Structure 1
Amino acid sequence: MNYRRWIAALLFAVASSLAHAATPDVYQETAAQIRAHAGDHRLLVLGELHGTRETPLLVQALLQGYDEKTPLQLALELPTTENTALAAYMASSGDAAAKHALRNSPYWNVRDHLHDGRRSQDMLDLIEAARALRAQGRDVAVVGFDENTAGEGGPGARDADMAKTLRAEFHALPATGRMIVLTGNVHGSRGQPTYLPYPPATSLLEGLPLYNVRIEARGGEFWACMGHRKCGTRALIQRDAAPPKVDTRADRSYDLWVFLPRFTVARLLGGDI
């Protein structure tokens, strides 16, 4: 690498680090905007691009900002088979042994091209943040809601199973409880995109006090799979700064769109990524 390339690489690394580390107020501000727009809706669905560092930080800020007396359930796009381990971790001290037990399941150890971006240190840090709130005396739980990860039952079966699980989890909440769902932005859509031959999970949650938010960024990168064995870093189209966008149309996909300054690729776990 010649001198100019070395300088350019160094400046890019420093800029990326500063962009990620120097804006904690952005997460708090955006989380406050989401809570304000969602109002009394007790089921909040967040549609994300998998594989970023920033979205878990935003969800952490969102959890921290609710009233301390509000029971909270964070539902993540993890297999329901992880729920025993999640419950054990939430009840633990969060020490090294507890972290190892949570991290050691096959789910968190997918490797190379099969890595879809959901398995990252950033997601584990989000779970730890929820555990820390619980340790402070808050009523906080974390569950997975992905029942059908093998895709059994044909097109649409996975989303139908997700919706069934989310509905059951929501009905099990206390009357004052709130559920915050973090899922991919297709699963999180209110409507059925024209390219999708089946309704996404969130569109099957009719009758519930639902508000959904799409989390975007004005630039940067994320990690995702765009087809079989086609996983990797994806660049976002650069866009100008924009305030939260409210959509009230009958055929809307999301009630609210929010735009973080930048996405950076998550700290992915395992393998030669």
Structure 2
Amino acid sequence: MVASMVCGTAAAVPAGSVADTATQIVTLAGNHRLVMLGEYHGTAETPLLVTDLMERYSRDTAPVRLGLELPMSENAALARYLRSSGDADARAALRTSPFWQVKDDQHDGRRSRDMLALIETLRVLRLQGRDVGVAGYDIEISTYDTDMDRDAAMATHLRQQFNALPAGARMVVLTGNVHAMRHPFADAPPEMKHRTMASYLLDLPLYSVRVEALRGQFWGCMNPCRALTLRELPAQDPVVETDPERSYDVWVHLPALSVGTLTDP
């Protein structure tokens, strides 16, 4: 990781807040229509970052779609919720699937009230006339044998969703930071040397963003699932990578991450 960051070149916009990080991403991603964010799961700040990006990208009626690391079996419920009034019954219906019923000390952080708030924000944006949508692209855990099988399947689903976009539309994808790697780190352990989801999509207008933080915690599964602490870093500018074998197009740093409010059954 450190070697990859040192090899990059610093961009001009310093980190200071979630909004500042969103500005960095919008500026650096430019006209790329597939913006992939590699995150640490289970934080309060990353859903806010995605919310900011979706609001910015959907201004002036520009069509934007959000891809979430949720099973595609959730897509019908997501679509119904975006069309709903967002009342208590609609919110309860969104959380009835087995995916949302996993207990806090057993799941990997993709389920949180912060993520539900992000989905609600998209519903409100649609109500305001914005052309936004959301869909999952993951597969059920029981349907794959290896991580590479899962990454390949997710890439296939994302490609299908990208190809179905309205003309000129942009797609923002939120995923775990390993799935977002264009190429694995040169010194990665053998279990991380497999082809990642992003590596199957390099022929698309992909811009891969590693979302880091200067300090804080996220929710991860290291047997058991729990809050994990990040190594503290000094303030730094975004790090842009240009090597053909780069892992990401840019590394950005939020000021801090904190564990989100994880959902209960």
**Structure 1 length as normaliser, TM-score?**
0.86
Distance 2:134 2:93 in 1: 16
Report the Cα offset of residue 206 of structure 1. Answer: 2.1
Q: Which residue of 2 aligns with 1:81?
A: 73
Q: 1:133 to 1:230 in 2, by over 3 A?
A: same
Q: Which residue of 2 aligns with 1:201?
A: 197
2:245 paired residue among 245, 248, 251: 251
Q: Which residue of 1 aligns with 2:61?
A: 69
Report the Cα offset of residue 103 of structure 1. Answer: 1.5
- 5+ residue gaps, structure 1, are 1-24
Q: What whole-Å deviation, never above 9, does each CA across 1:209-250 have from its counterpart, x for those lacking one?
A: 000101111001111012xx4210100111111111111111
Is the 8 Å Cα contact of residues 148 and 158 (structure 1) preserved in structure 2? Answer: no
**Structure 2 length as normaliser, TM-score?**
0.89
* Pairing 1:86-101 to 2, within 5 Å after superposition: 86-101=78-93
Counterpart check, 1:167 vs 2:163: no
Q: 1:264 to 1:112 in 2, by over 3 A?
A: closer
Report the Cα offset of residue 151 of structure 1. Answer: 5.0
1:102 paired residue among 75, 94, 105: 94
Q: What whole-Å deviation, never above 9, does each CA across 1:141-167 have from its counterpart, x for those lacking one?
A: 000000242252434110000000000
Give the number of the structure whose alpha-carbon radius of gyration is greater.
1
Q: Which residue of 2 aligns with 1:19?
A: none
**What SS is found at the alignment partner of 1:114?**
coil
Q: What is the Cα-based RMSD across aligned positions, in Å?
A: 1.4
Counterpart check, 1:47 vs 2:38: yes
Distance 1:92 1:189 in 2: 35
Is the 8 Å Cα contact of residues 22 and 53 (structure 2) preserved in structure 1? Answer: yes
Is the 8 Å Cα contact of residues 116 and 224 (structure 1) preserved in structure 2? Answer: yes
Query: Structure 2 counterpart of 1:209, which letter?
Result: P
Q: 1:235 to 1:153 in 2, by over 3 A?
A: closer
Query: Structure 2 counterpart of 1:55, which letter?
Result: T
Q: Which residue of 2 aligns with 1:33?
A: 24
Query: How many pairs were matched up?
Result: 245
Distance 1:30 1:43 in 2: 18
Q: Which residue of 2 aligns with 1:134?
A: 126
Query: Structure 2 counterpart of 1:135, which letter?
Result: L
Is the 8 Å Cα contact of residues 192 and 203 (structure 1) preserved in structure 2? Answer: no
Q: What whole-Å deviation, never above 9, does each CA across 1:74-97 have from its counterpart, x for those lacking one?
A: 000000000000000011111111
- 5+ residue gaps, structure 2, are 1-15
**What SS is found at the alignment partner of 1:126?**
helix
Distance 1:53 1:112 in 2: 15
Distance 1:234 1:170 in 2: 33
Report the Cα offset of residue 112 of structure 1. Answer: 4.5
Distance 2:84 2:110 in 1: 23
Report the Cα offset of residue 197 of structure 1. Answer: 4.1
Structure 1 segments, 4+ long, off by >6 Å, are none
Q: Percent identity?
A: 51
Is the 8 Å Cα contact of residues 104 and 262 (structure 2) preserved in structure 1? Answer: no
Report the Cα offset of residue 69 of structure 1. Answer: 1.9
Q: Which residue of 2 aligns with 1:233?
A: 227
Distance 1:218 1:212 in 2: 19
Distance 2:158 2:259 in 1: 28
Query: Structure 2 counterpart of 1:56, which letter?
Result: P
Q: What whole-Å deviation, never above 9, does each CA across 1:78-126 have from its counterpart, x for those lacking one?
A: 0000000000001111111111100121111101542111110000001
Query: Structure 1 counterpart of 2:244, which letter?
Result: A
Counterpart check, 1:221 vs 2:217: yes
Q: Which residue of 2 aligns with 1:12?
A: none
Is the 8 Å Cα contact of residues 148 and 161 (structure 1) preserved in structure 2? Answer: no
Distance 2:145 2:219 in 1: 28
Q: Which has the higher contact order (CA 8 A, sep 6+)?
A: 2
Is the 8 Å Cα contact of residues 163 and 201 (structure 1) preserved in structure 2? Answer: yes
Query: Structure 2 counterpart of 1:205, which letter?
Result: L
